[in-house]
């Protein structure tokens, strides 16, 4: 080995020993003033929620609520009202016979096909969020197909059927990535000459609307992220409000529909949409792909 080669080996060994000694030494080298070991944090932002397209589905209570909601969306500029589907005298339970103070008979054929009609309108209007309002026809007496007993909310057999239909509603809209804002059912008040919860007013039994809402309240857990419950029943409990907003004990009027939307329904529905949008859309940013983020994009 030449003298120059030997010197090169000795020099390399010295440099290696120095680097290792520094790595395992007890005292690190002092760092310049202002030096920090803190990592750089990249702020990841979510895209703002767009102005939603809003549609209404349900029965006559939904129809009356839709007038004020459509007006509020236009005047506030916070959404665009698009066509939905409402069928008078229809609930969501599709089978068997119905009975109330006016008599009994088969379900309206139109009501039997709500899933088909709603899907058709959904494809046509393409809303971002739908408001669903039903209930009065689902809490009267029902004789289900193949059954011999008249049943209503609170009966386990009927409860299972009713919630099955509730879930079918949510699944229909979720299959098109449309969020559902479902209104609770307020207590149905009695009219003159009726007795609360009696045969001449079965739907006015408070236990029935309460059970309807209990089944409704289970939907967000059964279908996470697909449905938000808007508690109309609770909003109407302020003294005197229900009598003013729903003089007949069931529907808002042409005079009060906008009041309902402006004071509560409009903000509640838009908030439900924005929350769902925030939960379902990925943040943007160069490091959105880090573990725990909502995006798979690489950093």
> What's the pLDDT score for residue 111?
92
> What's the pLDDT score for residue 191?
63
> What's the pLDDT score for residue 14?
44
**Contact, 63 vs 44, CB < 8 A?**
no
> What's the pLDDT score for residue 70?
98
> What pLDDT digit, counting tens, does each position of 222-232 carry?
999 999 999 99
> What's the pLDDT score for residue 69?
98
The Cβ-side half-sphere exposure at 161, using a 13 Å CA radius, reads: 21
> What pLDDT digit, counting tens, does each position of 168-220 carry?
999 999 999 999 999 999 998 866 555 555 566 778 889 999 999 999 999 99
Identify which of 205, 5, 199 has the alpha carbon closest to the alpha carbon of residue 102.
199
DSSP string covering 210-240, please? HHHHHHHHTHHHHSTTTEEEE-HHHHTTSTT
Which residues, at least 6 apart from 211, have a Cβ–Cβ distance to it below 8 Å?
Answer: 153, 154, 159
> What's the pLDDT score for residue 92?
97
Low-confidence ranges of the chain (pLDDT < 50): 2-26, 35, 284-299
> What's the pLDDT score for residue 198?
58
In the CATH hierarchy, which top-level class contains the domain 53-280? alpha beta
Helices 114-125 + 156-174 axis angle, to 10 = 20
Name residue 58's beta-bridge partners: 86, 133
H or E segment to which residue 50 belongs: none
> What's the pLDDT score for residue 40?
56
Domain boundaries of the chain, sorted by first residue: 53-280
């Amino acid at each position: 080995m030449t003298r120059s080669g030997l010197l090169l080996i000795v020099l390399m060994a010295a440099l290696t020993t120095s680097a290792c000694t520094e790595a395992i030494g007890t005292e690190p080298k002092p760092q310049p003033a202002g030096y920090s070991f803190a990592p750089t944090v990249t702020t990841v932002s979510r895209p703002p929620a767009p102005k939603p397209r809003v549609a209404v589905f349900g029965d006559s209570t939904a129809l009356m609520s839709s007038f004020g909601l459509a007006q509020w969306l236009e005047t506030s500029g916070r959404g665009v009202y698009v066509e939905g589907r409402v069928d008078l005298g229809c609930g969501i339970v599709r089978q068997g016979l119905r009975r109330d103070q006016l008599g009994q008979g088969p379900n309206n054929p139109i009501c039997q096909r709500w899933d088909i009609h709603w899907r058709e309108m959904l494809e046509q209007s393409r809303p971002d969020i739908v408001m669903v309002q039903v209930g009065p026809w689902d809490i009267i007496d029902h004789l289900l197909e193949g059954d011999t007993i008249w049943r209503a909310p609170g009966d386990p057999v009927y409860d299972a059927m009713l919630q099955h239909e509730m879930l079918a509603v949510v699944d229909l809209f979720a299959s098109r990535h449309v969020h559902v804002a479902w209104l609770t059912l307020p207590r149905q008040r009695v009219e003159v000459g009726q007795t609360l919860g009696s045969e001449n007013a079965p739907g006015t039994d408070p236990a029935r609307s309460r059970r309807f809402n209990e089944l409704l309240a289970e939907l967000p857990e059964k279908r996470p992220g697909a449905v938000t419950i808007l508690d109309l029943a609770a909003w109407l409990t302020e003294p005197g409000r229900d009598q003013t907003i729903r003089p007949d004990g069931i529907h808002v009027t042409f005079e009060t529909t906008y009041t309902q939307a402006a004071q509560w329904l409009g903000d509640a529905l838009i908030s439900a949409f924005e929350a769902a949008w925030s939960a379902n859309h990925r943040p943007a940013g160069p490091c959105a792909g880090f573990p725990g983020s909502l995006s798979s994009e690489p950093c």
